[in-house]
Amino acid sequence: MPPILLLALLLPAQAAEPSSLEAALDAELGRAMAVFEQRGEPPYYVAVAVEERETTRIAATAGTILDSDSQRIAHLDVELRVGSPELDSTHPLRGMSSLRDDARRSLNLPLDQDQDYALRHAVWKELDARWRDAVERIVVVQSNQTVKVEEEIVAPDFELREPTVDRQEVIFEGVDLAAWEQTLARVSGRLDASPLVHRSRAVLQVENLRETFVDTEGSRIVHGGAWVRVGVSVGATATDGDELSIDRILSYRSVDKLPAEDELLALADQARDLLVAQLEAPRGEPYSGPVLLDGRAAAVFFHEVLGHRVEGHRMKLDHEGKTFLEYVGRPILPEFIDIYDDPTLPVLAGEQLNGFYAYDDEGVPAQRAVIVEDGVFQGFLMGRSPLPEFPHTNGHGRRSSGKAPTSRMGNTIVEASQTVPKDKLRTMLLAEVRDQGLEYGLYIEEIAGGFTMTGRVLPNAFNVRAITSWKVYADGRPDELIRGVDLVGTPLVAFGNIVAAGDDQGVFNGTCGASSGWVPVSAVSPTLLLREVELQLKEKGEDRPPLLPKPEGPPMGGQAAGGVR
């Protein structure tokens, strides 16, 4: 394993006293508020946040380095609200309006924080611009309220809170670039060992983040951490045009957890061999019947099918489907299922979780939010945008730079109070197949993500992208690997078909994209048996595989290992 270096970057480690950056933000915010108070529409709340980020990325392909760089960047985000907590300039507009979307943007700051004037100059310009936008927008919001019908959900736009002061020490982590370049070059060579592999890449990315947050309530918060990803990707085009891709990504919260080279070589062998097997596998067909979702696949399934539908801010948007709004206190899942989202968990099931954070992007401490208890729906993920029955945030207001915070998932955990051994779930799957008079059931081993539609115009449905699927035959034939199918359906029907849960825990680490940008997330679930799920054909390309064979050359990265599963 390459040696690891720990580097303190950007600002020095912070103790209880404010840094020069925080002092500058504080001073400029105070100066701006003094001026705004003399105007006709002063803001009732302003938050200023600076996100300092250093990203180191190494990518290798075909046994050599493709790119290797380290980038420092600082972003400024300003949240400014004009009006009152009951109705303010951020209120969603209905109908057509040039001001319908939030006007904020991601703004780069000078990296040299000792240049106090340059920093304050940038903050001054953004505060002025955001105030002008808010003053213009509040007029449209008030008119919108007058000419439109009453909203389905009437609730305040913002929750005022007591301030929080917490300055955490954040040490930025680095790696030995030269050593990791050599490692990834060898790993990428192993990926390319098969002539059937058309595209391959080995990547390491270390992202350090430090956020300094100040607001008019008096909150002064410094927090952050590291997100580390290392993995491999291989791809090829099947003879029928199917574009196949296998990714194996390992996620960590610290560089000292990075794996040794032999583990990465084994990961490369696994990904490459699975790709070759899928190239030879038949395409599946449309199907409706019993499905066994492996733990990690079930975790992604819940993220897509449930997660976005329990983001509280969506309940205030009249174009949203609001699937679970009327289900508070009512069962939506079997009584042996509990679900909660807890960003305070750094580790679960022996794996570090991507969705861990100390504070959300609205200056609120991360908290555990109970979503389902004994199968009964309990409530929503909440930021500082209240709902009538849920007036308080539970620390889930999140965003990427340049976006307005909304309620988002962190670590979504599915637990079962009644479980059966995972091997028994296979027996139960086959029993369901025979009871339904089917030839086979499906075991979904891996899901690579998906998408969900939560609105009203299009079907309120999900599409979960199955990557590794197996037919499990009722007559005892060996399992058959298939490709080219996705899970589809609607949430209430899908949840009603859950039959049993395994005694295992599968962890998914990734990033999630929505209206407030891309944020790191995790999901954890046991293996699940569903009585009936529908699968449809995945889209495919029309191009043939490459007509020319790959260039000949010596084997790279060592000999290939065998085995798909």
Q: Comparing C-alpha atoms, which of 368, 306, 312 is closest to residue 525? A: 306
Name the residue among 53, 56, 50 with its Cα closest to residue 76. Answer: 50
Q: Which residues partner with 45 through β-bridges?
A: 81
User: Greater confidence, 455 or 16?
Assistant: 455
CA quadruple 349, 352, 354, 358: dihedral sign = positive
In angstroms, the CA 465 to CA 448 distance is 6
What number of other Cβ atoms are within 10 A of residue 418's Cβ? 11
pTM of the model: 0.92
pLDDT band at 1 (very low <50, low <70, confident <90, very high): very low
CB 237 within 8 A of CB 244: yes
pLDDT higher than 60, residue 94: yes
Distance CA 522, CA 536 (A): 26
Residue 565 pLDDT class (50, 70, 90 cuts): very low
Average pLDDT for 420-434: 96
Domains of the chain: residue spans and CATH: 4-280 (3.30.2290.10), 287-537 (no CATH)
More confident residue, 98 or 86: 86
3-state class of 495 per DSSP?
helix
Angle at 455 between CA 449 and CA 459, to 5 degrees: 75
What confidence tens digit (pLDDT) does each residue in 149-181 have?
999 999 999 999 999 999 999 999 999 999 999
3-state secondary structure 90-159: CCCCCCCCCCCCCCCCCEECCCCCCCHHHHHHHHHHHHHHHHHHHHHHHHHHHHHHHHCCCCCCCCCCCC
**CA–CA gap between residue 170 and residue 551 (Å, rounded):** 47
- Residue bearing tokens 């919108």: 144
The H or E element spanning position 291 is strand 287-293
User: What is the distance between the alpha carbons of residues 170 and 19, in angstroms, rounded to a whole number?
Assistant: 12
Whether 9 shows a pLDDT value over 80: the answer reads no
Question: What are residue 553's DSSP bridge partners?
Answer: none
Identity of the residue numbered 478: P
In whole angstroms, give the CA distance from residue 140 to residue 156.
Answer: 17
- Residue range 124-144, pLDDT digits in tens: 999 999 999 999 999 999 999
What percent of the chain is modeled with pLDDT above 70? 93
What is the pLDDT, as a whole number, of residue 111?
75
26 within 8 A of 18, measured Cβ to Cβ: yes
Average pLDDT over residues 101-126: 81
Per-residue pLDDT for 563 more than 60? no
Mean pLDDT of 199-226: 97
Long-range contacts of 425-429 (CB under 8 A, 24+ apart): 425/292, 425/500, 425/502, 425/527, 425/529, 426/292, 426/472, 428/499, 428/500, 428/529, 429/290, 429/291, 429/292, 429/472, 429/529
DSSP annotation string for 376-405: EE---B--SS-BTTB-S--S-EE--TTS--
The per-residue DSSP string of 423-460 comes to: HHHHHHHHHHHHHTT-SEEEEEEEEEEEEE--BSSS-S
The total of other beta-carbon atoms located within 10 Å of residue 147's CB is 8
Predicted local distance difference test score (pLDDT) of residue 497 = 97
The phi, psi pair for 272, rounded to 5°, reads -65, -45
pLDDT for the residue 551: 84
pLDDT interval class at 99 (50, 70, 90): low
pLDDT value at position 470? 97
Tens-place pLDDT, residues 378-426: 999 999 999 999 999 999 999 999 999 999 999 999 999 999 999 999 9
Query: Exposure of 12 by Cβ count < 10 A (0-12 exposed, 13-18 middle, 19+ buried)?
Result: exposed
% of the chain with per-residue pLDDT over 90: 81
- Say what the pLDDT of residue 117 is: 87
Mean pLDDT across 210-225? 97
Looking at residue 308, its pLDDT comes to 94
Q: Please tell me the predicted confidence (pLDDT) of residue 360.
A: 98
Mean pLDDT of the chain: 91
| Per-residue pLDDT reduced to its tens digit, 225-273 | 999 999 999 999 999 999 999 999 999 999 999 999 999 999 999 999 9
- pLDDT on residue 561: 33
* 558 band by pLDDT with thresholds 50, 70 and 90: very low
pLDDT for 105: 76
Which span out of 16-25, 72-81, 106-115 was modeled with the highest average pLDDT? 72-81
- For residue 114, the model assigns a pLDDT of 62
